[in-house]
Structure 1
Amino acid sequence: MSNKVKFALLLICTIFSVVTIIKLFNLSEDIIHYHNRFVRRFPQHVAQEIHQTDLTYNSYYFAGIGEGKIYLGNYTAPLQMTVLDSTLKEKKIYHIELKEKNLPFQAPQIRVLGDHFFVFEGIVPYIFKGNISNWKASLRINSGYHFSHLEPMDSVNMAIRYMTPKSGESLIGTLNLADTTKVSYDAKLLQKQFDGIFDTDGSLLFNKQFNRIVYVYRYRNEFIVADPILNLDYRGNTIDTISRAQVRLAQLKNNSMKTFAEPPLIVNKTTAVDGNLLYVNSLLPGLYESENIWKIASIVDVYDLTDKTYRSSFPIYHIAGKKMKGMLVSGNLLYALIGEKIVCYKLLEHLSQDRAVRDYAHSIH
């Protein structure tokens, strides 16, 4: 056999081997994405803790992030704003002053976006708007539909989850604080399965980089991406297979209201969005996963909003037996509220890059 023939055979074998490896890798991707939705991939050391501080109390929630600052609201001190720097070392506390004080305040919440902050309560309803330069706010809305969620899209436009007057069913809508006649909603974005209230419960987010509303269902494996005027971009799915909310309801005695007949199966708990990535704290274990990891950590699944794919998963470990109750992501930093602690994690490079995990996997082989 001549050297040329040997070289040709060697070249053919090499090409065949490379093609086979690529096909096997792509097949494994397809299996994870389509054939077995409970199989997670866990790259090592995705979230590395770099900062932590003690907040003393466990009643804080994330109100916003921007310009190197983390804004925390407090359920037990509803008009108090705690501001931390990105390293969690510097802390300042501000007290919000509302110009109108004769409203039936019950449980106000706060959101911060840019130089503005918003104080609101959907059950009344009301929305205050102010500037973080002095933390003073004036009343902008004190009428209209009741609502259960609000996320500012800019200084005047709000994404809102409304409650319809008669049935109480949820609707995704928008509100313009500069012109209260500009109220819009779309009854088709949230899809009712049996009652339109419990079965459509979920997390309302706004992706400022992509200028998109994102809604993640709590009891089923679905999320929604829509533009600011409520045109649906697409419906995506999380990797589990719970497509129908597993919720049983019971009628309260001498009351038209309903409650849970038994604890519901929660699919997606805490969520966050940043850039092209959606972060979902799932409560459902996947195949081949150790029970031990679920006893000591919260699992976060990462999805790419640009191509609707699942990227990977990583654990956020409990602290003193307490689970993560909220998270916020900015670039390659993830902030988590765990018990009385706030923790900052640095995320692995590929999570913050604008390319699919498949491309990243190819680049490291």
Structure 2
Amino acid sequence: MSFKVLYKILGIVILSIIILGVLKGTTVMPNEKDNGFNRNWKSNEGLELERSMKFDEPLSTIAGISKNTIFLAGDNATAILLIDKKSFKRKDTLMIQFHPDPTKIVPFSIRIDTPYYFVQFVNLRAYLYGKFPNENIKLKEKAELPFTKSIQIDSSKVILRMFNQKGTGQDFAILDLESMEVKRDTDYVKMYDKTAGMSTDGSFTFDKETKRIFFVEYFRNKFYCMDTSISLQYIGKTIDTVATSRIELKSMEKNDTTIKLVSAAARLQVNKDCFAGEGLLYILSGMRASNETIKDFNSHFVIDYYDQKDGKYLGTVKIPKMEDRKYKSIYVKDGRLYVLYENEFRSYLLPQIKN
């Protein structure tokens, strides 16, 4: 290699480093600035770790927790790992005799409320449900507009967020699994742009004891409380200050016959995950508070919790981020916060919370 070529390569490398330095110095990341709110910390040092276990399987969600058993699910919706709740030892693997097309089962949502097993396959527009082990397992398909989110509320009803007839927005709806009848209701999430409901995307969670359904938006500081007839009870706000969603979509040709809508720019996820249980709504936040250092925020997940009755903010707890293990799922049961990381499952003791 000649010195002339070598100098050119060295010049390109130096220029690239300078450009990256300028971009880093002039670009303000969302959580590097003051976001204008404070948290009420219930545990300054983080929650007390109670138990932990490691595993090799690619598990992705806590599907349910009963009196004695924890149910963990992964990429395969028909194989569930059973963990003893007290000892954190493996008990068994639940295998459901159902063999869907492996290219079409993602994404799906799964919930176990013993002895019932529920799976909603978004791409198939289908629902697998019944009692286990392998007793009266049913698969039903609904030839209607696709849904984007779903949550099971009892043995025969599912709450959906699905596209309207024009495909311009999304409605909340109730699906009866026996009759496959869909009952729609007014969409409480107001649209501010032409994103077919994607700008107000979020996640469902349901508290079986209080019979309250929550839909928590990903990109704004809003959540919606409904009863089991999807009647709106109130609209709540998370404590952060992100009141608008700056989401733009663009079309991308997937093949000769399909056009896929994708985000035109990076999206700031305000609320990353949620869980409703024991009268509280827990939300894993993506926003740093003013009374939180950048170092602490980067090394911990923060979970804000709210009173289900009126949406009032009550406090915040934090759990450690694992450098080599991604966060997957949370679940609250019997005064404990259960956290699923990549290849590790943990339980933390929650502080006494009055609500």
Take 1:39 and 1:178, find their aligned partners in 2: how far apart are those partners? 47
- How many corresponding residue pairs? 314
Q: In the TM superposition, what are the counterparts of 1:204-223 in structure 2 within 5 Å?
A: 204-223=204-223
Question: Do the aligned partners of residues 346 and 135 (structure 1) sit closer, same or farther apart at CA in structure 2, a change above 3 Å counting?
Answer: farther
Measured after TM superposition, the shift of residue 202 of structure 1 is 0.3
Instruction: Quote the residue 2:156 is aligned against.
Output: 156
Report sequence identity in percent.
Answer: 23
The 2-side partners of 1:136 and 1:104 are apart by: 25
Considering only aligned residues, what root-mean-square deviation do their CA atoms show, in Å?
A: 2.4
Residue 46 of structure 1 deviates from its aligned partner by: 6.0
Q: When the two structures are superposed, what TM-score results if normalisation uses the length of structure 2?
A: 0.81
Distance in 2 (alpha carbons) for counterparts of 1:215 and 1:151? 10
Report the more deviating stretch, 313-322 or 252-261: 252-261
CA-CA distance at 1:324 after TM superposition: 2.4
CA distance in 2, matches of 1:78, 1:247: 31
**Residues 96 and 136 in structure 1, CA contact (< 8 A), matched pair in contact too:** no
Q: 1:169 corresponds to which residue? A: 169
- Report the Cα offset of residue 206 of structure 1: 1.1
Distance 1:314 1:228 in 2: 29
Could you say which structure has the greater relative contact order, defined with CA pairs below 8 angstroms and 6 or more residues apart? 2
Where does residue 183 of structure 2 map in the other structure?
Answer: 184
Distance 1:298 1:270, change over 3 A: same
CA contact (8 A) 1:185 1:230 kept: no
Residue by residue over 1:274-315, the C-alpha shift from the partner in whole angstroms, topping out at 9 and shown as x without a partner, is: 022111111110113111112211111111112321111111
TM-score for both structures, normalised by structure 1? 0.79
Q: Which amino acid aligns with 1:264?
A: R
Structure 2 counterpart of 1:276: 279
Structure 1 residue 253, shift from structure 2 partner: 5.5
Distance 1:80 1:103, change over 3 A: closer
2:321 is equivalent to residue 327 of structure 1: no
Map residues 33-182 of structure 1 onto 2, 5 A cutoff.
38-44=37-43, 47-75=47-75, 77-87=76-86, 88-98=88-98, 105-107=104-106, 108-134=108-134, 137-167=137-167, 169-181=169-181
How far apart are residue 259 of structure 1 and its match?
Answer: 1.6
| C-alpha contact (below 8 Å) 2:60/2:329 kept by paired residues | no
SS of alignment partner, residue 292 of structure 1: helix
Amino acid at match of 1:283: G
Summarize the Cα distance change of 1:102–1:292 in structure 2 as closer, same or farther, 3 Å threshold.
Answer: closer
**Corresponding position of 2:290:** 287
Identify if the C-alpha distance between structure 1 residues 101 and 221 changes in structure 2 by more than 3 Å, giving closer, same or farther.
Answer: closer
Asked whether the equivalents of residues 37 and 240 of structure 1 are also in contact (C-alpha less than 8 Å), the reply is: yes
Deviation of 1:103 (Å): 10
| Structure 1 contact 146–164 (Cα < 8 Å) conserved | no
Which has the higher Rg, Structure 1 or Structure 2?
Answer: 1
* Greater mean alpha carbon deviation, residues 109-118 or residues 253-262: 253-262
* Aligned-partner residue type, residue 189 of structure 1: Y
Are residues 1:301 and 2:332 paired? no
- Residue identity in the other structure for 1:301: D
| Cα pair 1:122 1:146 within 8 Å, conserved | yes
Q: Distance in 1 between matches of 2:144 and 2:263?
A: 28
8 A Cα contact 1:296 1:321, kept in partner: no
Cα distance 1:329–1:262, how it changes in 2: closer, same or farther (>3 A)?
Answer: same
| The structure with more helix, counted as a fraction of residues | 1
